């Protein structure tokens, strides 16, 4: 087993706690499924949210999925003029047998434009 990192992002349609929970939950689920992972494979997860998101902590969605014994942290993304609005990003550290090139980074919807080089 190796320690790897997997990236991902999702754009919210609106700043509402229930909507954030739904969309971030979908992102985390997709990251786990596309990489053949279970919650026990997670070492830690960093969440960032653009400054226009205030309704909830993105990490709350992970707790709602039952990811309760993994260190999670939330931070605010840089406030860059012209940046895509209402985006939650993740950086998850995982234990996996996958090689670096085998990691599926997950950018849902419009966020695929953020990292065309690694979005799948």
pLDDT given for residue 120 in this prediction: 58
Render pLDDT for 11-62 as a digit per residue (tens, 0 to 9). 999 999 999 999 999 999 999 999 999 999 999 999 999 999 999 999 999 9
34 annotated to a ligand binding site? no
- The mean pLDDT value for 59-86 works out to 96
115 annotated to a ligand binding site? no
Which tokens sit at 58?
């993105």
Q: Confidence band (pLDDT; 50, 70, 90) for 119?
A: low
Question: What residue segments make up the domains of the chain, in order of their start?
Answer: 2-111
Q: Is the pLDDT of residue 87 over 90?
A: yes
Q: Confidence band (pLDDT; 50, 70, 90) for 117?
A: confident
89 annotated to a ligand binding site? yes
Q: Is 2-111 a CATH 3.30.1330.40 domain?
A: yes
SS (H, E, C) the chain: CEEEEEEEEEECCCCCHHHHHHHHHHHHHHHHHHCCCCHHHEEEEEEEECCCCCCCCCHHHHHHCCCCCCCEEEEECCCCCCCCCCEEEEEEEEEECCCHHHCCEEECHHHHHCCCCCEC
């Amino acid at each position: 087993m190796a320690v790897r990192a997997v990236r991902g992002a999702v754009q919210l349609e609106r700043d509402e706690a229930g909507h954030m929970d739904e969309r971030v939950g979908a992102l985390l689920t997709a990251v786990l499924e596309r990489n053949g992972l279970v919650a026990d494979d997670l070492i830690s997860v960093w969440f960032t949210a653009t400054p226009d998101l205030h309704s909830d902590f993105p990490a709350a969605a992970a707790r709602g999925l039952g990811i309760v014994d993994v260190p999670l942290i939330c931070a605010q993304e840089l406030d860059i003029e012209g940046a895509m609005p209402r985006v939650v990003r993740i950086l998850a550290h995982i234990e996996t047998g996958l090689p670096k090139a085998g990691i599926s980074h997950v950018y849902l919807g419009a966020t695929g434009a953020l990292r065309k080089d690694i979005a799948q």
